[in-house]
Structure 1
Amino acid sequence: MTEVKDGEAPGQGKRVGWVELYFDLVFVFAVGQVAHGIVAEPHWSRAAAALGLFATLWWTWIGFAVLYNRRGDDSRAADRLFVLAGTIPCAIAATQAHHVFDGHPAIFALAMAGVRVILAAAHRWPAREGLDQRRISWGYTASAVLFAVSAFVSHTWAFWVFALLQEAGFLLLGDRPRRRRGERPSRAARWRELIAGPHDPSLAVDSAHLAERFGLFMILLLGELVITVGTAALERPADDVAYWLALIGGLVLAGALWWLYFTSAARIYERMLDLSGGNPALAYSLYAGGHLPPAFALVLIAAGVNLSLHESPPHAAAWFTTAGLTIYLLGTRVFAAGSHRWYHGLARIAALAATACLAFLDRIVPAPAVVLVIAGWGVGAAAIASTLRRRALDRMGDNPLEFLRRQGWEARGRP
């Protein structure tokens, strides 16, 4: 467990650096390009392509987040320069995102290769004593080669998928305990390993910094929804009642999404990671991999609301919004009641199904009115989740294993 010094609150650690906030400005534009790609051609195939593009950008951002979490220091010029250098190829990639949708990913792939060269060099740079990250450096070197090769061959996505999968393995999962061949521990045993703390203390992550880092990124994604709603005001007359309904609904929905994450999921995730002593594998489960679905869900919701504000919104607009909200609720586990009773599980499934099916309302009411209804549904979900998660956080105490068992993340019964 993490040692807490006198006068220090649990989870207290270093803050997000100013250079990291500057780096995130590039991703504001990149995420906007992904959402715009869905709006340009509102089909599920385009949404699937957007997910792949978003995942590529997501793991690029994760690389810098973990780099600065483990070894970054605003007082060291080298650390700041590596992050600033990374903004250049990331900005180039953001400008080329729409070309990826059009089947011309070469420049984007080369930019991603350049980013990984910088990350490889950053992990080779001397850091604090006892922190050896040469394995991560070699991993990013391999990813850089894969992205560079993908710019000149067909089946580009296959190279990207392989590169991202191996990055996920070496970046935060390199602290796994060694097991005998064929040994498959139970789910409960795996969770005990995560909560027990990292086997290599030098690989531990700072829970407070990581929680704040991901929280700020979620704010950026919510900002895309707010910008989408606000920008529409420039294209619609002031007496357009439908627009005002969508404007109010979009802003209320954004507020409800903020409430769902920051008053429940964010606090629980940070508390669990802090109690684990900064276990990197747990950080992967909760943040790097665990945040990908709800993060992309916000992009999908922004695209859906954007389409709903068009003069002739497509049928996909409502489905993108409700599908995004369903994924967001599922990814943040806001309806987890801490009970294994069958009717609680059935109620959760029914709530998620009802969320997705709100899209059918566009057959009887205008799209802006559907956005308003979805916003009201989001507010109701936030109210229910606040009660459930507050109780869950109180029950956690200093025993995260019991919390996991109650939330259904662990196998039923005591390990």
Structure 2
Amino acid sequence: MTQESLPGNRIRVWHRPMRPRDSAERHRVATPLELLFDLCFVVAVGQAASNLHHQLAEGHVGHGVAGFALVFFAIWWGWLNFSWFASAFDTDDVPYRLATLVQIAGGLTVAAGVGKGFDGDFHVMVIGYVLMRLAMVTQWLRAARTAPECRPSALRYAAGITLCQILWVVWLAASGATQIALFLVVAAIELAVPLLAERRAGAPWHPHHIAERYGLFTLIVLGETVLSATTAVQESVTEGKHIGELVGLAAAGLVLVFAMWWLYFDQPGHARLVHRPSLLTTMSWGYGHYLIFASAAAVGAGLELAVDFDTHHTELNGTVVALFVTVPVALFLLSVWLLHIGPTNECRPIAIGFPVAAVLVLAASFGPAPIHVTAVLAAALVAVTVIATHGEPRLA
């Protein structure tokens, strides 16, 4: 350990062994460095949602949705790997901070390449992604060197991540349907790395810390949704037209996002993690949040598209526009239901209420004022949860 004396008898630790954190540590919260990491990823999430909106507005539905799914995977997977590693091995010394800086640089490079990615050119994104992931390899190798009890798992992580980065570079040479198929293969290998690395003795992640990290990223995505919709309304209001429709849409969007926030955070996110469930259950919870994050981001793009429809800036019909809001909202509700509530939850009104609300939201797509009705349905589900639980969380 290298130290330097500072004024006031303070000691700054420049370098220390990367030892596992205590998985039962009390009052474990997100660090300022983790919050900065999240803040930088706001840029990438915003770029993904903005480009999805533009693709949909231009009528490139299939291309836009496929591009969004690919781009968001890179954003989500880079964030997820950093968060779980930091939950287990956050030493917060100089080498750790510098490695995190490289990961942030990689994330921002990914964000810079999002627009080209939607156009089918993934070179910039892959450069940023590989940079971000290779920085994580150095972290795992450092953990393997200084934490003997985690060495086998850490080495498996380092080897698996390195292999995947080689495959992503190879993937750039593919095109068309072959590129899509190869993406699915390499993404599946990426998803399998933690399962293989943790199959025996894995990293000692902290359940409350992980739940907080996921909650913070959910807030980031919901915040981007609010920003996207607000910007779209602001641009339209400057034209001085359709004020009534836009005010109503803005109100509905605000109620909808607030309801999504309420429903996600109403039940404790750590409930399924705190008792150290099976690896498959843990990974299902962690991976399943891809649907929560992506659907929340897509709602923002859908609300922007709804503004375009009300101001006659898109040729898409009303039902199609509505579906780009209602489908991600329904997906969000079902994902929260499966990951936080559970079909067997002892509180039957909320166990049944979430899937019923999702079905009604989809049905609202084909009626009048679909986004307003969706907001009312989401608010009604909030009311059901409050009344049924008397304001107290009910664990699955």
On whether the aligned pair clears a TM of 0.5, the verdict is: yes
The offset of 1:245, in angstroms, is 1.0
String of CA shifts for 1:335-388, please: whole Å, max 9, x gaps: 756379x99998765432211121113xx44xxxx4332212111112223455
Alignment match of 1:36 (pick from 38, 50, 54)? 50
User: Is residue 173–residue 280 contact of structure 1 (8 Å, CA) maintained in 2?
Assistant: no
**Residues 134/387 of structure 1: CA separation in 2 closer, same or farther (3 Å cut):** farther
Indicate the SS of the match to 2:149: coil
In the alignment, which residue of structure 2 is the partner of 1:215? 215
Distance 1:280 1:72 in 2: 21
Distance 2:74 2:197 in 1: 20
Indicate the SS of the match to 2:262: helix
In the alignment, which residue of structure 1 is the partner of 2:157? 136
In the alignment, which residue of structure 1 is the partner of 2:184? 161
Distance 1:163 1:339 in 2: 36
1:115 aligns with 2:115: no
Worse-matched range after superposition: 112-121 or 302-311: 112-121
In the alignment, which residue of structure 1 is the partner of 2:282? 283
Which gives a bigger RCO, structure 1 or 2 (Cα 8 Å, sep 6+)?
A: 1
1:379 aligns with 2:383: no
**Residues 246/147 of structure 1: CA separation in 2 closer, same or farther (3 Å cut):** same
The offset of 1:60, in angstroms, is 1.4
Alignment match of 1:307 (pick from 305, 308, 319)? 305
**Residues 331/80 of structure 1: CA separation in 2 closer, same or farther (3 Å cut):** same
User: Is residue 13–residue 207 contact of structure 1 (8 Å, CA) maintained in 2?
Assistant: no
Q: Where do residues 247-286 of structure 1 align in structure 2 (5 Å cutoff)?
A: 247-264=250-267, 267=268, 269-276=269-276, 280-286=279-285
User: Is residue 147–residue 159 contact of structure 1 (8 Å, CA) maintained in 2?
Assistant: no
Structure 1, unmatched stretches of 5+, are 1-9, 177-198, 397-402, 404-415
Distance 1:343 1:88 in 2: 46
Distance 1:168 1:13 in 2: 30
Distance 1:83 1:302 in 2: 29
Alignment match of 2:71 (pick from 43, 53, 73)? 53
1:106 aligns with 2:123: yes
**Residues 281/38 of structure 1: CA separation in 2 closer, same or farther (3 Å cut):** same
1:338 aligns with 2:344: yes
Q: 1:56 is matched by which residue type in structure 2?
A: A
1:225 aligns with 2:228: no
In the alignment, which residue of structure 1 is the partner of 2:33? 19
The offset of 1:90, in angstroms, is 1.5
User: Is residue 208–residue 270 contact of structure 1 (8 Å, CA) maintained in 2?
Assistant: yes
Distance 2:171 2:48 in 1: 20
Distance 1:387 1:336 in 2: 18
Distance 2:388 2:129 in 1: 41
**Residues 67/377 of structure 1: CA separation in 2 closer, same or farther (3 Å cut):** same
Distance 2:255 2:181 in 1: 40
The offset of 1:48, in angstroms, is 2.9
What TM-score, normalized by structure 2, do the two folds share? 0.80
Distance 2:138 2:179 in 1: 25
What TM-score, normalized by structure 1, do the two folds share? 0.77
Let me know the Cα RMSD of the aligned residues.
2.9
**Residues 172/206 of structure 1: CA separation in 2 closer, same or farther (3 Å cut):** farther
**Residues 138/13 of structure 1: CA separation in 2 closer, same or farther (3 Å cut):** farther
In the alignment, which residue of structure 2 is the partner of 1:73? 91
Structure 2, unmatched stretches of 5+, are 1-23
Q: 2:261 is matched by which residue type in structure 1?
A: W
User: Is residue 16–residue 213 contact of structure 1 (8 Å, CA) maintained in 2?
Assistant: yes
In the alignment, which residue of structure 2 is the partner of 1:148? 169
Alignment match of 1:323 (pick from 324, 327, 338)? 327
**Residues 391/19 of structure 1: CA separation in 2 closer, same or farther (3 Å cut):** closer
Distance 2:250 2:376 in 1: 13
Indicate the SS of the match to 1:104: coil
String of CA shifts for 1:267-302, please: whole Å, max 9, x gaps: 0x40221112x7654331112x12111211111211
In the alignment, which residue of structure 2 is the partner of 1:206? 206
The offset of 1:73, in angstroms, is 2.6
User: Is residue 146–residue 160 contact of structure 1 (8 Å, CA) maintained in 2?
Assistant: no
Worse-matched range after superposition: 241-250 or 125-134: 125-134
The offset of 1:157, in angstroms, is 3.4
String of CA shifts for 1:65-92, please: whole Å, max 9, x gaps: 1121111132x11211111111112211
Distance 2:84 2:342 in 1: 28
**Residues 348/114 of structure 1: CA separation in 2 closer, same or farther (3 Å cut):** closer
Counting aligned pairs with the same residue, the percent is: 23
The count of corresponding residues between Structure 1 and Structure 2 is 353
